[in-house]
Amino acid sequence: MLLRDILEFNTIKTPEATAVAFADDRSLCFAELDRRSLRLANGLATLGQPGDGVAILADNCPEYVECYYAVPAARQRLVFLNYRLTPKELIRIVNDSQARVLLYRAAFAAVVEQMRPELTTVEHYACIGDATASDPDYETLLADVETPPFAGADDDRDVAWLIYTSGTTGMPKGAMLSHRNLIFSAMNSLATFASNVPEPRYLMPFPMCHIAGYAILTQHLRGVPVYLMQQFEPRAWLEMVERHRITATALAPTMINMVLNHPDLDRYDTSSLDNIGYGASSIPAEVLRRAMTRFGNVFSQGFGMTELAGNVLFMDRDTHMRAAAGDTHLLGAAGRRGSLAAVRIVDESFNDCPFGVAGEIIVKGDQVLTGYWQRPDAEAEAFQDGWFRTGDMARLDEEGFVYIVDRKKDMIISGGENVYPREVEEVLYRHPAVAEVAVFGVPDENWGERVTAAIVPRAGEEVAEAELTELCRSELAGYKRPRAWHFVEAIPKNVSGKILKRTLRERFDPAGGEGAAR
């Protein structure tokens, strides 16, 4: 099955039904989206050959959705560019991907001008939303032909999307995702979560340059309209939920925390919400408790990553209800494996870990990436005996629930002891004046690494270091307690809301960063 089959099916079934709606009230029905995507595919086919890269630099917009379907329909690779990166970072990705075409929104024209002299493979440019003196308007790419431009598409071998990993631990790698990877990821979500809500409407707050965009495919498989936020902002999210009577959405834990901390939260009617999926990173149990108190039992969880084309672990609302009714340990779970992927927890020898013992999550299935773009070394490191090594540490219980311990590369080794930052963060979130926290390790000549915490206080409140120290003393072994505290206005995150602990380590490394702790 190919990605454009999704549009074709909906065009046959409900051609006039809304497929995409945007914040400025632009919308496309399924027939229009299918027609424009095919015309764009044919236009791109005149600029290159199957296998070429088409890069896109844009925040969320209907044209981005068209590219989701059109570029693979032309048998070309859609290269996702994170608009928050610097020009130098973007240049490295575009050149690495060997993109022949660069599409960009007018808001990023100045960035493209900085990049242009150093782009070694790009031959064609087009501007979305505004024709410039040097580049044609995006609309000029749409040909008059509305039939698939190339025959012989292969859902397994053709790379549909090329998404560079977030780079929280180093230089991003291009994850090659085929039509099959993406379709199976969407189907895995559908097989786990079913909804009978009348007139469903899905709100997409994540940036579409992130793998979270696969949720659009999932919703379109069901024929559900998708409302796009240009960029996430808590007040705008609340306004769109109220205005459009949104029934389902997805948020990163950091986004949920921002919504909960918004001063006007209770002024908005969010009663239409039937499901809030959360993912992208682990959620602190205290934040989830507050969210369930405010929004009710509407939460579900998905755990995945770019290389898995979406989620492989899921926790449904019934499990959240169990947690609210007394099984509070489940608030710390990431869920159970979905129906269409195999998941194991293994030790360093690749043996399955006993219940309760931490190990690495490995995955096998049709949604696992086909490989890394021009990185056989990374593929050799990531795959073992056909299993993909995620680098995430977790433990499994007798019911099959997986509990994320931490990123393997984020684990702190202090005095020979393993410290999982999330365990420390969970404790610190219990302080009523803590809005956000990140725990990480910095080099220490005596202990190897020093446990360090960055704290964002709630608006108008102060956090006493002594109170945090005492809180940790009552909950954590000595080697797990932070030895340095940094009180900051904001914690750095990537475009998907993941905390950039590498950035924090660099910033507060005593040898090269700001160093001094408060």
Alpha helices in 253-302 (DSSP H): 253-260, 285-295
492: domain CATH number? 3.30.300.30
Confidence at residue 168, expressed as pLDDT on a 0 to 100 scale: 44
Confidence at residue 401, expressed as pLDDT on a 0 to 100 scale: 95
Confidence at residue 517, expressed as pLDDT on a 0 to 100 scale: 41
Helix axes 62-73, 214-221, angle to 10 degrees: 80
Confidence at residue 282, expressed as pLDDT on a 0 to 100 scale: 61
What percentage of the chain has pLDDT greater than the value 90? 66
Are 133 and 209 members of one domain? no
| CA distances, 460 to each of 68, 258, 434, 457, 465 (Å) | 43, 15, 11, 8, 16
> What 8-state DSSP symbol labels residue 120?
S
What percentage of the chain has pLDDT greater than the value 70? 94
| CA distances, 149 to each of 13, 32, 44, 395, 409 (Å) | 23, 18, 9, 48, 44
Confidence at residue 512, expressed as pLDDT on a 0 to 100 scale: 59
Are 457 and 480 members of one domain? yes
121: domain CATH number? 3.40.50.980
Are 390 and 442 members of one domain? no
Q: Structurally, how many domains does the chain consist of?
A: 3
CB burial readout 132-143, b (16+ within 10 A) else e: eeebeebbebbb
Q: Is residue 177 part of a domain?
A: no
Q: What is the pLDDT of residues 215-240, one digit of tens each?
A: 999 999 999 999 999 999 999 999 99
Are 382 and 342 members of one domain? yes
Q: Is residue 81 part of a domain?
A: yes
Calculate the dihedral angle through the C-alpha atoms of 265, 267, 268, 269, rounding to the nearest 10 degrees.
120
Q: Is residue 56 part of a domain?
A: yes
Are 289 and 200 members of one domain? yes
Mean pLDDT per block of 10 residues along the chain (518 residues) reads 96 97 89 97 95 97 98 97 87 96 95 96 93 83 89 92 72 92 95 81 94 95 96 95 96 88 95 89 76 92 92 92 84 89 95 95 97 94 94 93 80 74 87 92 81 92 91 84 93 79 86 52
d(CA 497, CA 495): 6
3-state secondary structure 227-256: EECCCCCHHHHHHHHHHHCCCEEEECHHHH
Are 146 and 121 members of one domain? yes
Using the 3D structure, point to which of 391, 408, 425 is the last residue of a domain.
Answer: 408
d(CA 267, CA 126): 42
Q: Is residue 159 part of a domain?
A: no
Domain that holds residue 481: 411-508
Q: Is residue 452 part of a domain?
A: yes
